[in-house]
Amino acid sequence: MAADLFAPLPLACGATLPNRIAKAATQEALAGPGQLPDKHLFNAYARWSRGGSGLLLTGNVMIDGRACTGPADCVLEETTDLGPYREWAKASKSGGAQVWMQINHPGRQVQADQGGEGWSASDVPLDLGSASKLFVKPRAMTEAEILETIGRFAATARLADLAGFDGVQVHAAHGYLISQFLSPLANHRTDRWGGPIENRARLLVEAVKAVRAAVRPDFAVSVKLNSADFQRGGFDQDDARAVVGYLNDLGVDLVELSGGSYESPAMQGEAADGRTLAREAYFLEFAIDLRKIAKMPLMCTGGVRRKEVAEQVLAGGVDVVGIATALSIDPDLPKHWRAGGPDAPPAPKLKSKNKTLVSMGHMAFVVSQIGRMGKGQEPAPKASPLFALIGGQLARSGQVKRYRAWLSAQKS
């Protein structure tokens, strides 16, 4: 008997997901003026909510406006107007889905032209070959800055709760700040925040504790974690097992397993350490392994677009199937699956031997499809990732100017 994608999932906090299909977090680049959500995000999330997913995870919402992954990221801080976030939550839940806000700090993964800060566990820059110069050279965070950052995670979670979101996801994957602390390649510290895995995991553990303490009891608290960085000498599967063990004791409602970073975009099927990843459900093998020790529900994300693969994920002991690209191509995919309809087509791929360029093309394609939904249009599955990349770069120029002006105003 096939695993039931449409069975509800009760969570430790007391909430229940309507089904086992989640829209995984996506880069959206749709923040309006003031780094706030506007009608474009409202439209896109209302469209996804109508499509039948049980859970919608937002793209990065930054906990500190001085450091953004991109110039069109949303920022939620103590001084932020909550009105637009209330509208976003309302639109996201309009079709019956739950919505969780992904909260994040990029650390060193900040592009240099944005004018923002680049912090990390240590002063180790990104290694992206000729593209490395596009990113800031990070400096090691002080103890005070680490503690401030923990407080910011908690503050953003509390504000998300007040705005009407159903939960948050603490982003500890894909090479962002918490992931940098977890990785022995990026974290060379010799204090209580570095060295053995229990120290490298301290930022994540303390952030989760602070978030849980800041929100109401039935507000979901989840974590996105790399199953591995897929870089030789980086955060590996043994580290992931240890971290899941720590999270077992913290009242975490769900752990999403992904993998990779800007340096090794395994979340798109490309691994820098030479491992070949499956074309769909990239991280299922790792999720099944971690299932043995995880006390909380697990979510597996990575390339799923076919119902039979989604059912295989659940049959492997995973509780939720995370889907990103396929839902940007077909937001009605869950409804189609429920009715016995078609799977999503594969996303077009940029033809290049440059893995960084291929990764950028893929991200640009997804962003362009979300942008169409933000305008009230339907996705265009056969759109060119090259044209999307060019269009995205042209749009980014104006976004950078607007973000820099906003950042300057915050400092004055």
Measured distance CA(257)–CA(283) in Å, rounded: 7
Classify residue 2: in a domain, yes or no.
Answer: no
Measured distance CA(299)–CA(258) in Å, rounded: 9
Backbone angles phi, psi at 178, to 5 degrees: -65, -40
From 188, 182, 192, 162, select the one nearest 227 (Cα to Cα).
182
pLDDT tens for the 412 residues of the chain, in order: 457 999 999 999 999 999 999 999 998 999 999 999 999 999 999 999 999 999 999 999 999 999 999 999 999 999 999 999 999 999 999 999 999 999 999 999 999 999 988 999 999 988 777 777 888 899 999 999 999 999 999 999 999 999 999 999 999 998 899 999 999 999 999 999 999 999 999 999 999 999 999 999 999 999 999 875 555 666 788 898 999 999 999 999 999 988 655 544 444 444 443 333 345 556 788 888 889 999 999 999 888 999 999 999 999 899 999 999 999 999 999 999 999 999 999 999 888 888 778 888 999 999 999 999 999 999 999 999 999 999 999 999 999 999 999 999 998 7
Q: What's the sign of the alpha-carbon dihedral 327, 332, 338, 344?
A: negative
Q: What is the DSSP code (8-state) at residue 141?
A: P
- State the pTM of this model: 0.92
Classify residue 1: in a domain, yes or no.
Answer: no
Strand positions, DSSP E, 232-354: 254-258, 298-301, 320-323
Classify residue 33: in a domain, yes or no.
Answer: yes
Whether 242 and 255 have beta carbons less than 8 Å apart is answered as: no
Classify residue 327: in a domain, yes or no.
Answer: yes
Measured distance CA(408)–CA(160) in Å, rounded: 25
Q: How many domains does the chain have?
A: 1
Classify residue 3: in a domain, yes or no.
Answer: no
Classify residue 145: in a domain, yes or no.
Answer: yes
Classify residue 211: in a domain, yes or no.
Answer: yes
Q: Residues 25, 58, 356, 392: what is their CA dihedral angle, to the nearest 10 degrees? A: 140
* CATH code, domain with 39: 3.20.20.70
Per the structure, the complete domain to which residue 348 belongs is given by 9-411
Classify residue 34: in a domain, yes or no.
Answer: yes
